[in-house]
Amino acid sequence: MSAGNAARGAGEAAASGRSAGEGASSGTGGGKPKVLVKEKIGDSGVALLREHFDVDLGIDWSDEELAQRIGAYEGILIRSATKMTAQLIEAAERLKVIGRAGVGVDNVDVPAATARGIIVVNAPESNVITAAEHTIALLLALARNIPQAHASLTSGRWERSKFSGIEVYEKTLGIIGFGRIGQLVAHRAKGFGMKVLAFDPFVSAERYRELGVEKAGSAEEVYAAADFITIHLPKTPETIDFIDADAFSKMRDGVRVLNVARGGLIDEAALKDALDSGKLAGAAIDVFPSEPVTESPLFAYPNVVVTPHLGASTAEATDRAGYQSAEQVIAALTGGVVSTAVNIPSVGAEDMEVLAPFLPLATKLGKLAMGLAEGSSVERIEAAFMGRIAEFDTRMLTLAVVCGALQGRSEQEVNLVNAPSIAQQRGIVVASRSISEAQDLHDLIRVSVQVGAERVTVAGTGLGPARTPHLVEVYGHRFTVELEPFVTVFRYADVPGMIGRVGTIFGADGINISSAAVGRTPDGRQGATDGGLAVMVVTTDAPVPEEVLEKIVASEGFIDGRSATLT
């Protein structure tokens, strides 16, 4: 089986849960495939690999030696130090799978691997327990001044009264970001008798109820109620400095704040100011905007607890990461089910020939529908495939819709393989259907997001030889506009001058409009959800700032305006 075929087989298995085939290449000369373990992992992972393959340990190899020898291996398992660049991947003539013993794959050129038909796998669940436990450890250390008391006593001072702390019992823990780690933190905090209030608009209300956690409608609601606040968001352009000076101003006096997620989610300058003013009773920080770091103004504060990015650092997590990634490498090389691939899984070659051009459209529609959805609790994501594409295996397109909808909204990177499990963790129902007719189009994808009682629906198609993604429907109104990286949708009273008003305000704020279209409801067609309002879609070459949207929506006749980034 070629590398490309191995990737397709494993991808199909990952999407469907079926076996990927009868086996992969057995390497040169008909012997066992060769696998290189380039960085130190747990012994259990190495032992598991050796049950199936000829395994070499290259822990002490230099970059030059790795480049010279990598061509002999069908699989490689790394951690974070090895950089799998496009050049190194090109030299890996036989490579079929790259295993990353950890969560991220920032050190792997995934597009280069995908182009070569190489599967890239990781161990996304390996550190969630460890990260949750470290959060609780820091919370207790912060409440009881444990590090400070230890340092005082070991330096020869008995200062018992100085380090009196507080109980966490019946205190309110606010959680910003309620994915897998946030939910584990909530479960453990409830064991201490804490009240838990969480905010994450991309988790269903049912999931909150199952966990016995109160659902907040906004981050501000958490700020106003919590005695402790912990943040568990992914790091994206939208979440950098998520907790800033404005957020601190809305918190209760004497609050304690923790970050065991990603450096940069908390504005460090604003954090310092909040400590100086006495607004914060303390902070616990495990991650920093730039690492490693050994000097920071925060280190001087007696009420700040810091650790050097230990959230994933336990023997169990390291062993689990090695073992889980080894399992995935074995699956990729033996025709098993690859469940943590981070590059595109595949369906049948004939179906993929037709469907592949529609993958970007499906992803963009998922992002747009989620971006337009209002409320604090997403319940359901639906995808309908209409026309010619309905005759094919549309599982990949469904995965692309869900992936687009959840990207940047989970603490772990969302891909076409793990998107369904992330949705399931958050209690979001995913449904799809195929319909043979597509009204007046050859192919149509319609995506709906259910948020409480509200339902947001968008639809699109691919036009031209390259099937360039175009938006053709929002809120039941029809358009034909290319889906460019930045899309803004307005709803407003259908009176003259509204388009000009948007253009004037955009121009005054230096925002260049790429295209604009006003929607209509086709004659005799039901489904418009805006009560007769007009709908305008505007694409721009840069994001539209929230304050510009607010300025337009505040003007007479406008009902709402929302922007979505589709990159």
Q: Are residues 469 and 489 in the same domain?
A: no
- CATH number of the structural domain spanning residue 257: 3.40.50.720
d(CA 326, CA 216): 40
Query: What does the pLDDT read at residue 156?
Result: 96
In eight-state DSSP terms, residue 51 is T
Residue 434's domain comprises: 347-474
Active centre residues (catalytic): 262, 291, 309
Q: Is residue 339 part of a domain?
A: no
As a whole number of angstroms, the distance between CA 279 and CA 252 comes to 8
How many angstroms separate the CA atoms of 513 and 287, rounded? 39
Mutual orientation of helices 546-553 and 498-508 as an angle, nearest 10°?
150
Q: How far is CA 284 from CA 61, 139, 148, 250, 271, in A?
A: 38, 7, 12, 19, 11
Q: How far is CA 58 from CA 41, 122, 315, 319, 409, in A?
A: 12, 19, 21, 18, 37
158 and 22, same structural domain? no
340 is a domain residue: no
Assign residue 495 the CATH number of its domain.
3.30.70.260
Per the domain annotation, does 169 fall within a domain? yes
**In the structure encoding, which two tokens stand for residue 555, read together?**
């003007």
DSSP state of 72: G
Single out the residue in 474, 497, 519 at which a domain terminates. 474
Q: Torsion angle of alpha carbons 307, 311, 314, 319, nearest 10°? A: -150
Take residue 442 and report the two structure tokens written for it.
């050859």
Residues 321 and 271 in one domain: no
- Structural Rg of the chain based on CA atoms: 26
410 and 458 co-located in one domain = yes
Does 457 share its domain with 525? no
pLDDT-above-90 percentage for the chain: 71
Please tell me the predicted confidence (pLDDT) of residue 30: 56
Return d(Cα 209, Cα 213) in angstroms, integer: 6
On whether the CB atoms of residues 516 and 464 are closer than 8 A, the answer is no
Please tell me the pTM assigned to this model. Answer: 0.76
How much is the pLDDT for 376? 66
Q: Examine the fold and report which residue of 443, 474, 505 is the final residue of a domain before the chain moves on.
A: 474
Question: Are 256 and 155 in the same domain?
Answer: yes
Dump pLDDT digits (tens) for 208-240. Answer: 999 999 999 999 999 999 999 999 998 888 899
pLDDT for 71: 97
Whether residues 328 and 256 share a domain: the answer is no
Q: What is the mean pLDDT of the chain?
A: 88
- 311 assigned to some structural domain: no
The domain total for the chain is 4
Residues of the chain under the 70 pLDDT cut: 1-30, 337, 344-349, 375-376, 417, 438-439, 520-532
Q: Are residues 369 and 437 in the same domain?
A: yes
What pLDDT is stored for residue 8 in this prediction?
38
Residue 53 is given by DSSP the state S
Q: Are residues 134 and 120 in the same domain?
A: no
Residues 556 and 448 in one domain: no
Q: Is residue 292 part of a domain?
A: yes
Query: Does a structural domain hold residue 81?
Result: yes
Q: Which of 474, 502, 526 is the last residue of a domain?
A: 474
What CATH number should be reported for the domain holding residue 449? Answer: 3.30.1330.90
| Residues 26 and 149 placed together within one structural domain of the fold | no
Same structural domain for residues 113 and 181? no
What does 491-528 look like in DSSP terms, one character per residue? Answer: EE---TTHHHHHHHHHHHTTPPEEEEEE-BPPTT----
DSSP 204: -
Tell me if 479 is assigned to some domain. no
For residue 342, being part of any structural domain is answered with: no
Per-residue pLDDT reduced to its tens digit, 90-136: 999 999 999 999 887 889 998 888 778 788 999 988 889 999 999 99
